[in-house]
Amino acid sequence: MPLSLHAAAIPQLTHALKALGAVLDKAEAHATALRIEPNALLQARLFPDMFALARQVQIACDMAKAGSCRLAQMEVPSHPDTETTFQELQARIAKVQALLGSIPASAIDGGEDRMVTIKVAGREMSFSGADYLIRWVLPNFYFHVTAAYAILRHNGVPLGKGDYLGAA
């Protein structure tokens, strides 16, 4: 049986968001234990021209939300980027997880060849549904999840590969 578009998208995005939430829990606990100002981690970045941790989490959530909604031909809900605490980022993750859980397989499956057009930096890009997921949504989503993990690991949060994979 071939892998459906829904099965290729929703379970992976949901699982990685759950792992990201657990990583943020560890980061918050680490900050508390070492009396580190949480904002120091939330605003940390790997290099000055890269986004800070909070923004990486927001973008990962946006990729999961927008990608799934577009594949399902649903309106993409707006989530303002106002989170400034670990709790607010966790609430954003939970909101996106709930949205993903509400999208039925029937809304996505069969859309492998349906065209998805997005605007990036003022330029329109068009993909088949399958290419949109495989070449755009998943790589961008995992890029930002990985950046969030790397920022925290670089700042001393005791994380391992199992945390990233959601296995620990």
* Main-chain phi, psi angles of 21, to 5 degrees: -60, -40
| For range 144-156, the mean pLDDT | 98
Containing structural domain, residue 42: 5-165
Q: How many domains does the chain have?
A: 1
Spatial contact of 55 and 81, defined as CB atoms under 8 Å apart: yes
Confidence of residue 123 (pLDDT cuts 50, 70, 90): very high
Q: Of 80, 88, 81, nearest to 38 (Cα)?
A: 88
Model confidence, pTM? 0.96
Tens digits of residue pLDDT in 25-79: 999 999 999 999 999 999 999 999 999 999 999 999 999 999 999 999 999 999 9
CATH number at residue 43: 1.20.120.450
Torsion of CA 15, 19, 25, 29, to 10 degrees: 160
